[in-house]
Amino acid sequence: MKRLIIVALVIFSPSWAGAQTSLERQAFATLKPEAQKLVLTWLNTNCGAAEQMAFERKITTFGSVLELAFWEAFRLGPTEQEMNTVSAAVARRYDERQTWLRQLGDLQMGKAETARQLAISGKQYAERELLQYVERYKSAALAGLGLVGTQHIATELTRIADDDKNPAQTSAKEAIKGIRQKHSR
């Protein structure tokens, strides 16, 4: 539920939309509003299998027109506004987590684990959560490319797929498979 609230804030924030149309997000800015909303939802939502399939169908109907926007999202990562929105949510979650740990941690997890969890600073928690958000965002961008990408972008993705140190390596490999399957039909 909290994830859905974050997504709604990101998608419907007017200042965020303005930031997206800046020179930095040129490919995104060229999309029609319906396509922009779809891309934003795809990049910022973790969903179940049925919802995922519905999103995939919508994305494939737009086709390669979304390719550059997804590539741009991968290269640039989340916008500053998205990061600010997620940071605020992470700070609230940390406070809620600390409260829960103090009230119920010993009963639910035991004293040692509760003490270990309580020792995690707000900064450590935020850094981990924000890093995971950026990685999910970029992986979602690559998954989008797997649905709409052309052979040209598959060549670009090979560089990422061949880099054992790149956290997006597996996502790039899956995107390449998706592109190749689409073009082999």
pLDDT band at residue 22, thresholds of 50, 70 and 90?
Answer: low
Half-sphere exposure of 119 (CA within 13 A, CB side): 6
At 63 the three-state DSSP class reads helix
pTM reported for the whole predicted model? 0.81
Answer yes or no: is pLDDT of 143 > 60. yes
- 60-79 pLDDT, tens digit per residue, is 999 999 999 999 999 999 99
Quick one: 92 exposed, middle or buried, by C-beta within 10 A (0-12, 13-18, 19+)? exposed
What is the predicted pLDDT for the residue at 26?
92
Domain ranges of the chain: 2-17+25-79+130-184
